[in-house]
Copies of this chain bind each other. A is one copy, B any other.
């Protein structure tokens, strides 16, 4: 790929977006309070319906205040989950994005280290539990 390629498809540039794509780009910038549209969304825009599906779901889950839903988890808890999942899957794009979001929320590198300590610990115990085929403990009813 040439230097300008950022994915296996050519993303839709912000100044080329029209119709539904342009509206969603504007909503992304407004909802997230950022001045540019991240690569993810410009790549998804190669299929406008898919862009709409992913954005509407992410907006509902991660920006509930923008959709009128009462949030239970805090923004920090939500981004911590996002980073834990992304680290476990080894997704570089996503790790970059969610680390930045946590830093923006005020998390310092020492706390980030604790997040990684927990992520590392349980990726370890997950493999061990599966590697021995350990049966789940029988626990008292949860509800």
Show the binding face of A for B, using Cβ within 8 Å. Answer: 1-2, 5-10, 38-40, 43-44, 46-47, 49-50, 53-54, 57-58, 60-62, 69, 72-73, 76-78, 80-100, 103, 109-139, 141-143
**Chain B residues positioned under 8 Å from A137 (CB to CB):** 38-39, 93, 96-97, 100
Q: Check A113–B47 contact: CB distance below 8 A.
A: yes
The count of identical subunits is 6
**Chain B residues positioned under 8 Å from A53 (CB to CB):** 57, 60-61, 117
**Chain B residues positioned under 8 Å from A136 (CB to CB):** 39, 92-93, 96-97, 133
A142 to B6, CA, bound (A): 13
For residue A95, which residue of chain B has the nearest CB? B133
Q: Check B110–A46 contact: CB distance below 8 A.
A: yes
> A91: shortest Cβ distance to chain B, in Å?
4
Q: Check B47–A112 contact: CB distance below 8 A.
A: yes
> A32: shortest Cβ distance to chain B, in Å?
12
**Chain B residues positioned under 8 Å from A49 (CB to CB):** 60, 69, 113, 117
**Chain B residues positioned under 8 Å from A131 (CB to CB):** 83, 86-88, 95, 116, 119-120
The 9 closest A-B pairs by CB, nearest first: A47-B113, A87-B131, A90-B130, A124-B124, A96-B136, A91-B126, A123-B127, A93-B129, A120-B124
Q: Which of B87, B110, B134, B142 contacts A128 (CB 8 A)?
A: B87
> Which of A39, A76, A135 has the most chain B CB atoms inside 10 A of its CB?
A135
